[in-house]
Chain A
């Protein structure tokens, strides 16, 4: 939504990598460093008011590099619109980003799932541990592209 885009452009112009619209959805690709500040802005500013986090998804773009991206889908009840924030993580071997649990408590379990399935480390998460996969998957992260569907 353009209000969100304007706010982020005004306050964090250096953090934006790209903005695009596809089929009516707005995605703002940002650098991962200031994710908590950007999310706090989008939640607290009255003209954007994204007080609800729909989901946190991790995507693996192997063989492209940077390989991992974390996508946050936000919804505003006041304006009934959505925006997607996408952050590509620099380190392919040890992908990490700061946790947004301080902004929305809903992020707790969503981030645990991203860690469990894709191996993304969320710095500052209160309780980062496996949530879905069995103990047999201890050694690997099942949703990564190099893992076959039957696991290792």
Chain B
């Protein structure tokens, strides 16, 4: 008061978010340095769900790796299976019959819808909107019923096999899928009525987590994260696999690259997936589901019981597994979270030399530190939700 100066010092506060926290989708730890509510620095700490899947694959035959791949992105088990199976088939140089490819497309798209429904429920729940969770899970349960008809479980299929499928679709399945496909677009409208023009939702998501298209490519973002920023890229259309080129669908794009646009992109993707499933149902061909190559796929049971060669082939595949040639391949698919790639190096034995899983959530999460800087703490939760990360995908 008589000219004495008081130095006020401000310090940043370090807050540890996780690994157990209601809003993180799994065991993610973010060490956040805060100045009041503003984030100065956010450093994600991962590895709390690192299970050593890549190492375990080296000690198994290619077929035995399939259940491990289910559990990489546990919300979209079939997508992981598809990526692995396509990579091994590429390594072997075999192509599966048309019916098998169409069924794979149908299951992959239904899985995409299931994954996006879960994302919608949890992202909304994190930001305070509890109702969409219950609506979305209602449809997701119908999908789980469909999946249970096909492969007996709910989450982990292991239905796609190297060289084909485990078994053909059960009777009555296509009718049930028709029912779902007919009613689903109305349900998406229900979700949009709750959120899209909701002032609170817009306030919490518009302008949060903006990435320009150049930054998207630089940081290796893929899938809806990239499309939300306007990067027109979809592996199903640009580098098609499993006969996606036969189907007609629109790739939705955002313009601002913020959380709101990514939300709109994912909602539209659900509609487009529904459209693809409808096209599959309309054009599903009859035929074999497994490739006819005896070194790759199990021969049909009637032949195994009656023909000695088929019996020998059956034994060899079960005992030794498939033996691909020496070589390395990389196969990427458009998983619900982004580009899921499998780099498989084979040394000519029944066990892979190296299986590297290029996980989309791992690459997407790397940019969290950059996005969170200068935002409010509450925006960090919105960012984690919009990235749609699955920690098993990040950590493997």
Contacts and interface: CB of A to CB of B under 8 A. Distances in A.
Chains A and B directly touch (beta carbon < 8 Å): yes
Contact of B219 (A75, A106, A149): A106
B59 to A, nearest CB: 5
B233 to A, nearest CB: 6
Nearest to A103: B218
Contacts of A24: 90
A77 interface: yes
Nearest to B216: A52
Interface string A117-152: 100000000000011111000000011000001000
Nearest to A106: B220
A55 B46 contact: no
A53 interface: yes
Contacts of B231: 77
Nearest to A104: B218
A54 B301 CA distance: 41
Nearest to B214: A51
B354 A25 contact: no
A77 B217 contact: yes
Interface in B33-59: 46-47, 50, 52, 54-56, 58-59
A8 B55 CA distance: 33
B353 interface: yes
B313 to A, nearest CB: 23
Contacts of B329: 22-23, 25
A132 B362 CA distance: 11
Interface residues of A, number: 37
Contacts, number: 100
Is the contact region of chain B dominated by helix, strand, or loop, or is it mixed? mixed
A60 interface: yes
Contacts of A134: 47, 50
A57 interface: yes
A131 B90 CA distance: 31
A51 B330 contact: no
B351 to A, nearest CB: 12
A27 interface: yes
A31 interface: no
Given A22-B327, A109-B363, A131-B46, A54 B233 contact: no
Given A133-B50, A149-B59, A106 B218 contact: yes
A73 B343 contact: yes
B330 A84 contact: yes
A152 B107 CA distance: 40
A22 B220 contact: no
A132 B218 CA distance: 23
Contacts of B93: 23
A132 B46 contact: yes
Given A73-B341, A77-B231, A59 B90 contact: no
A40 interface: no
Interface string B358-396: 100011011100000000000000000000000000011
Nearest to B359: A55
A54 B332 contact: yes
Contacts of B261: none
Nearest to A127: B43
B71 to A, nearest CB: 16
Given A59-B353, A149-B52, 10 more contacts: A22-B329, A23-B91, A25-B328, A57-B343, A75-B332, A77-B231, A106-B219, A108-B366, A110-B220, A134-B50
Interface of B: 46-47, 50, 52, 54-56, 58-59, 90-91, 93, 217-220, 231, 233, 238-239, 327-330, 332, 339, 341, 343, 345, 353-354, 356, 358, 362-363, 365-367, 395-396
29 contacts: A24-B90, A25-B328, A51-B217, A54-B330, A54-B332, A55-B341, A55-B356, A55-B363, A57-B354, A57-B356, A59-B345, A60-B354, A61-B353, A71-B343, A73-B341, A73-B343, A75-B332, A80-B238, A82-B330, A105-B219, A106-B220, A106-B366, A108-B366, A109-B362, A110-B220, A131-B46, A132-B395, A134-B47, A142-B55
- Counting from the closest, the 6 A-B pairs by CB-CB distance are A106-B220, A55-B358, A57-B356, A132-B47, A109-B366, A132-B50
